[in-house]
Amino acid sequence: MPSSSNKCPFSLSTVSGVSSHVELLLVAAATAAVTYLLTKRREDERRRKIAFQTYQKEKEAKSEVAAKRKAAKLPPSGTVLEGLSIDRVYVWKIEDLKKRYESADVINIMRNKPRPPAAIRSPILRSASSVNEDDDDDKAKSFDARSSLSVQGRHQHYCKLITDDQVILEEIVRKPSMPHHCVGFMRAGPREMLHFDPRNVSAAIVTCGGLCPGLNNVIREITKTLHQIYGISGTVYGIQGGYRGFYDPSPHLHPIVLTPELVEDIHHEGGTVLGSSRGGFDLDKILKFLKDKNVCQLYVIGGDGTHRGAFIIHEGCMERGMNVSVAGIPKTIDNDVNYIDHSFGFASAVEAAQVAIRSAKTEAVCNLPNGIGIVKLMGRSAGFIAAHATMASSDVDLCLVPEVKIVLEGEKGCLPHIMRRVRQQGYAVIVCAEGGTCKKLNTTAKSG
């Protein structure tokens, strides 16, 4: 008989029973967990479907209400803001030549005039202007003769014409404290009737003042639009060297005859192919050129000084009874023209500024200890280039613009801020607009 010391408190059958019971409990727990997860997932999916269906019904109901209110010419649905309204819009109209001179009243349609293949594909005007003009004329006449049949029936009406009662509001963002009247500007775009007959139109283009990215694009598009869209029979003159190009006898300032073939690739070139300069304004000589060349459309591309000259030309034309349209195209790389979102060339300037900022950061990081990189950007009266370049780069620690006073010392001073940045990261990058370095400097600040 075995001794009591060798007896086991649990038999094999008992251990097997406990193990089976534990396994059943685990299986039951896993089944319950899976069931709960599946049930929760189905419930969440059902709730999402109900929420989406409710959203769709509400959207359809809003659309139906909006359509009914629009059909009944009722005010749109929504929350009414008390004290915020516009009951009068005063339109700032431009000079209308139709009121002073007899108008051709030609229906405005897109003529889609085909362009003959270019004899020379050089983007440089001077080399292109040295081509044998007789050969070019013969080729152009031959092309016109071959394509005369295809031109018929290619006229196309504009999808949308602009009327004189369509305006752009001067101040789009409104507040209840603002007056209930507003100033509006006439929209640009194709009108139903043309004042000038394209068969009698000759035009001139001049660029004045400083350079700006996009000048060649403007010259190209004006030339191609006049020739190909409006199908003018006259000449487009490119005035070289700014205002003095209207009368200067120098060989390098003679006006250039611009054609679609000549300007085809100039938008890939920098600067302006016509050249630019400041000054040289002589009203009598400019008006004499316009009269001698029978120019009825003058396109002036420039800044504030250039447009003051353009207005004087307009006044001179009115005084002498000349039926000439003077169109000003604002050119400013600083984007400091009111009532427009972006002037041409601004985006290119901000993009080019990124290279300078990255170079300044490299210099600051690598010059030990405590390197500081400073980049001065264009912006005599407005710091848009500096501000936009700063936001785009994310590498600038301090940006100085003319619109904000420069405080050197104190809690909000520039010098303590730069000191903190240098201590934190070992370097600093500063961007300043040219008008922000000395203008509006806080006179109470110490020179340091």
Q: Give the pair of three-digit tokens for residue 167.
A: 């305006």
Q: DSSP states of 202-251 as a string?
A: -EEEEE-SS--TTHHHHHHHHHHIIIIIS--SS-EEEETTGGGGGT---G
Q: What is the dihedral sign for C-alpha 194, 196, 197, 202?
A: negative
Please confirm, yes or no, whether 334 is among the known catalytic residues: yes
Which residues pair with residue 414 across a beta bridge? none
**How far does CA 325 lie from the centroid of its chain?**
26
Which of 275, 286, 271, 269 lies closest to 253 in space, CA to CA?
275
Enumerate the H helices of 233-342 as residue ranges.
283-292, 304-320
Q: Is residue 195 within 8 Å of 98, Cβ to Cβ?
A: yes
Spatial separation of the C-alpha atoms in residues 72 and 66, rounded to whole Å: 10
**Nearest by Cα to 235 from 218, 257, 214, 263:** 257
Neighbours of 396 (CB within 10 A): 21
136, 248, 334, 397: the catalytic one is 334
Instruction: Give ∠ CA 198-196-312 in degrees, rounded to 5.
Output: 125
Annotated catalytic sites, by residue? 334
